[in-house]
Structures are given as C-alpha cells and as structure tokens.
Amino acid sequence: MSTVNAAGWKPTMGDVGGDAGGEAGAEGGAPLKTASGDYGLMLEEALIFELGAKDKCGVDFDEADRAPAAGLSKFLRKSVPDLPGLTEPEAVRHYTRLSRQNYAIDLGPFPLGSCTMKHNPRLNESMARLPGFADVHPMQPQTTVQGALEVIEQLANWLITLTGMASVAMSPKAGAHGELCGLLCIRAALDARGETRDVVLVPESAHGTNPATAAFAGFKVQSIPATPDGRVDVAALKEKLGPNVAGVMITNPNTCGLFESELKTIADAVHAAGGYVYCDGANFNAIVGKVRPGDLGVDAMHINLHKTFSTPHGGGGPGAGPVVLSQALAPFAPLPFVTRGADGMIHLVEEENRGEGHSQAFGRMVAFHGQMGMFTRALTYILSHGADGLRQVAEDAVLNANYVLRACEDVLPAPFAQSGPCMHEALFSDAGLADGISTLDIAKGLIDEGFHPMTVYFPLVVKGAMLVEPTETESKAGLDRFIGSLRSLAERAKAGDQSLHSAPHFAPRRRLDETQAARKPVLVWQG
C-alpha cells in the first residue's frame, strides 16, 4: 500500500499517520521528517485555537462613533473573548482540511451492523430545503403550515400501512426515545386496567438500548436466553410469563442478523398472560414491504427514519423515531398528534380535548412536534420508491448481507451461518485467529484499507463479534472491494501478522488508547 514520492522514499508500515511532526522512514536510510508535519496530502491540522489568536479578527470594524444606547452599556465586554481570530481563508481551509480526515457515506460504505447507514439521496435534501419546510416555525398559526402538517399526515399513514398497525405517535425524537414512548403507552394501558406489572422480558438478542429503556421507565428487566441458532428461546420465555410481566421487548430481525420466526407464537403467549409486545424496529430495513409487524402481534414498535427511510443518521436537526401502535395501545398515544377535521383542515391537537382515539393519552414526549426535516426526507424517500420499491429495498439489503456472509465464511467463522440465510446483517467472530490477534485488530486494519470498521463486540452472545451491514445502497463492485479487504485482513490475522496490532498505519492518527480517551477525555482547550 505504500507509494514512492518524488524524493524517492516511501512510507513504510508504522511510519505514517503518527503524531504531528511524526517521522517517515526511508528504506535503508535515516528517518525522514518533513518541515510541515505533512506527508503528501495527508495534512497535519492544528487546533483552531493554535491557528488563530484572540487579538486577531478576520473582519475590519470601524470604531464606534457613539456611546451605547441607554441601558446597554452594562452589556459591554470587559475583556476580549477567548476565541480564535482567523481570516476567512484560514477558517475555510481549516474546516476543509478537517473534513478530509473525516469518513463519510459519500466516501465509502459504513458497514455498521445495527446502525444502518445508507446513502441519503440528494432529492431528499432538496425537498427538505424548500422554504415551506425548512423555514417552518413551531409557533406559526396552523393555517399557515397546512403543507407541513400534510407531510406529517401522509408519512404517518405510510408508516401505519407498512407496519399493519392502528396508529402512530410521530413526536419521539429517536429510537431510544421511541422505546420510552412505547413503554409509557404500555404503562398507561396497564394503569387503565388497574394492574401493577413491573417486569419486562428482554431477550439476549435484543438491542442494547432495550433493557436500559425498560429500567429507565421503572420496570425490572429479566433476560431471556438465546437458542444455539441465535433466536429467542421460546420455552424459556414462556416460563417467565406471569401476572407481574408487563411485556416483552424483542428485536426483529434480531442483532444476530436473524428473523425471529416464532414472533407470532411469542406474541400470542405474552397476550394470553396479559402483557404487551414491544418490537425494536431498528432493523425494519430488512423487512419493509415484506412483513407487517402488526400481523405478528406487535403492540408497539419504533421506526428509526434514518435506518429505514434514509434520513441523515443523527443529522439534519432532531432525529425522528415514530412509534406505531396496535389498537390496544392507540388510545394512549402521546400528544401532540395531527388529525384532519371536518372542515378539511389538518389540525395539530395539543390541548386536553384529545378527541376520539386519543382519549387516554399519557401526556407528551416533547414540547413541539418538530423533526420537519426528517419527516420531509422520509416521505420523499417513500414516494420515490413506492410500495414495490420499498419491498426491493428489503430484498436488496438482505441479498447484500448474504453475499458478504457467504463470501467470507471460509476465512472468518460465522456462528449462525447454518441457521439459514441472514437478514440485513452478516455476523462473524474472531475465533480461529492467531493468538493475540483480535476483532479490534481487524477493525483497525479496515481503516488502513480505506473502510469504516464494522460494529465490533456486539451482539454480546458472540465472542469477538464482527457485525457487518452492507445495506441495499452498496453496489456489487463496492461489496467486492470490501470483501477483498476483509478476506485479506482475516488471512493476515490467521497467519499471525503482528503489524495488525499497531493498525491503522495510514490514518491521520495512529491507534488511540480508547480506555483513557473514555475515562480521561480532554474536552477543553487550554493554551
């Protein structure tokens, strides 16, 4: 991977990508050090505080020709703010250089299992930037935002249709926020029945946020083991059911990349015991247009718009995690909600007069409905594809994952490869690698190959897990490049290539001490 530069030397493994002013070795000679600290176009970038100074300013201001207006003098600064002053070119170049050190979906795939990072079509961005959506204000009169409210209504109708559910709460801001919303609906339904149930069952193959959310909502969490084929142990779950169980939080497809084929059986058992079924919808991308969770007995499910409907992952303002609800939980959906009145106008209902179908709303999750940018992007994506196109999204996502699984299972153990086709995620482990070489070394090696690492050490049911999700937006040619790199790293790891311990070698920074970074982060500039 090394290349010779004009001076006749080439960086070798371990020589580039070090700290500022690091050394680049020349074959057979003394280490080389550049005056700039750069190596070719791998630019070394100082902090903005080091580039600028608080006594500098990139703009010329005339001296004030009059005293501050009465009452404003108390707001005058008594000292120069401790902010770096830069010229416009300095500021633009700084952030542009930083952007070149940042990996992005526009550079390559994010093979993160359980964190779908698909391409966000530019059409979505164009629609979200239309003035009627981008400039909308939550305090505007509702008569002036009918178009925005109709987008919310249309998206809500699509989500209800695709999931086979009765209602949807659009206000939750993200997946975990949606989980909390669903559990609060369950608690409200139990309260309305006059029952006190304080246990939520969470399978080992569920997403890690599920038990945390259940605990946050005030429930006790009991774990359900997985079977050897990576799915929920139904017999063990049934043994746990009783009058104290509020419900189960299950992820389908689960974090082993497998479809929970007995979900209907599980739901029937939970309902018979008086509980409710919460489904984590983060992996809905694998089944959208193919399976309706409502048909499987699900009572509540959040939908990560960024994972299934291509809105930016955590970007574009607040996130969005709408929660679809069954007929049993629909009356308890939170405020506010949109509804079309007899006058043909769409209304955002926020007051106590909640109307039919929301008579027992448990309260509200947020101050404002929000997320307009996310709603607009998601609806644009849905309308661009249509029902048939969304079905193909799921089929292509599953096809790509199985392609990666079968292309690499001979060099990396795939614990559940014999359980049948995977869904949108391929799961590998570090079993069989040379002593001392681990999943982390493979992940860091992928950085040298020009890829973002996959999800590592999750799910916890697999030792040294490597969870790869290629998504449907990756081409076969792109997957072949990734597969080639992953196979190469696996072969090196099995052969005991110790250079993997110090990977990455070709990144702007070498491997960090992640433990110290988490325990002793340096968050404030101290000049």
Strand-pair partners of 373: none
How many whole angstroms separate alpha carbon 446 and alpha carbon 450?
Answer: 6
493 has pLDDT over 50 = yes
Name the pLDDT band for 356 (thresholds 50, 70, 90).
low
Residue 133 tokens read as 């959506």
CA 418 to chain centre: 28
2 has pLDDT over 60 = no
263 has pLDDT over 50 = yes
143 or 318: which leads in pLDDT: 143
Name the pLDDT band for 351 (thresholds 50, 70, 90).
low
Nearest CA to 415 out of 455, 466, 482, 456 is that of: 466
Domain 388-507 has CATH 3.90.1150.10: yes
Name the pLDDT band for 314 (thresholds 50, 70, 90).
low
Pairing of strands 323-325, 466-468: unpaired
pLDDT for the residue numbered 410: 96
Q: How far is CA 188 from CA 193, 276, 334, 343, in A?
A: 9, 12, 10, 32
13 has pLDDT over 70 = no
51 has pLDDT over 70 = yes
Arithmetic mean of pLDDT, 396-423? 95
Arithmetic mean of pLDDT, 460-472? 94
156 has pLDDT over 70 = yes
How many whole angstroms separate alpha carbon 277 and alpha carbon 167?
Answer: 15
pLDDT for the residue numbered 423: 96
Name the pLDDT band for 18 (thresholds 50, 70, 90).
very low
pLDDT for the residue numbered 28: 44
pLDDT for the residue numbered 67: 83
Task: Note every long-range contact of 44-50, with CB atoms under 8 Å and residues 24 or more positions apart, other chains counting.
Answer: 44/20, 44/508, 45/94, 45/97, 45/98, 45/101, 45/508, 46/20, 47/525, 48/84, 48/86, 48/91, 48/94, 49/84, 49/525, 49/527, 50/527
Nearest CA to 119 out of 450, 400, 423, 471 is that of: 471
111 has pLDDT over 50 = yes
107 φ/ψ sector (left φ>0, alpha ψ -120 to 50, else beta): alpha
Name the pLDDT band for 239 (thresholds 50, 70, 90).
very high
Which residues of 1-47 form beta strands (DSSP E)?
Answer: none
Question: CATH 3.40.640.10 occupies which residues in the chain?
Answer: 163-370
pLDDT for the residue numbered 39: 66
Give yes or no for a contact between 230 and 416, defined as CB atoms under 8 angstroms apart: yes
Residue 387 tokens read as 């029902």
What CATH number does the domain located at 163-370 have?
3.40.640.10
Give yes or no for a contact between 304 and 281, defined as CB atoms under 8 angstroms apart: yes
DSSP string, 295-309: GGT-SEEE--HHHHS
Give yes or no for a contact between 210 and 179, defined as CB atoms under 8 angstroms apart: yes
Question: CATH 3.90.1150.10 occupies which residues in the chain?
Answer: 388-507
Alpha-carbon dihedral of residues 67, 68, 71, 77, nearest 10 degrees? -110
Name the pLDDT band for 419 (thresholds 50, 70, 90).
confident
Give the type of residue at 267. Answer: A
CA 247 to chain centre: 25
What percent of the chain clears pLDDT 90, i.e. is strictly above it?
65
pLDDT for the residue numbered 319: 84
Name the pLDDT band for 506 (thresholds 50, 70, 90).
confident
Sign of CA dihedral 265, 244, 236, 425: positive
468 has pLDDT over 50 = yes
